[in-house]
Amino acid sequence: MDGWYETTARIVRETVSAALHKARSLGAKKVALSALATGFGNMTLADFAEAIRPLLPIDWSPIEEVCICLLEDYRTHELSHSLSQT
């Protein structure tokens, strides 16, 4: 996200990827992430899912679990549905 609260899928993907690389280098087994840019960045959860989808097939060992934290429970289904889209 830049100073004008604008972002792109590429920026989100690179940020999440960098965080996961750092967590992996520290030996993390569990990582919690926010749904970056879905607030002030004005991205939808579908946009967020599109941004991180290319990261899903990567083996991030030793990371075993990544939790994406959302403010509202009902958004969990929306994100899950968006991530399952091809």
Number of folded domains that form the chain? 1
Q: Is the pTM of this model over 0.75?
A: yes
Specify if 24 maps to a domain: yes
Q: At 16, which CATH number?
A: 3.40.220.10
CA-to-CA distance for 17 and 53, rounded, in angstroms? 11
Residue 4 falls inside a structural domain:
no
**75 in a domain, yes or no?**
yes
Contact predicate 12/48, CB 8 Å: yes
In a domain, 3, yes or no: no
Q: What would the pLDDT profile of 19-58 be if each residue is shown by its tens digit? A: 999 999 999 999 999 999 998 888 999 999 999 999 999 9
Residue 55 is part of which domain span? Answer: 9-84
Residue 6 has pLDDT above 80, yes or no: no
Contact yes or no for 56/22 (Cβ under 8 A): no
Task: Judge whether 28 lies within some domain.
Answer: yes
Residue 2: which of 40, 55, 56 has the closest Cα?
A: 40
The answer to whether residue 77 sits within a structural domain is yes
pLDDT at 74: 86
Which ranges constitute the DSSP H helices of the chain? 9-25, 45-52, 75-84
d(CA 63, CA 80): 20
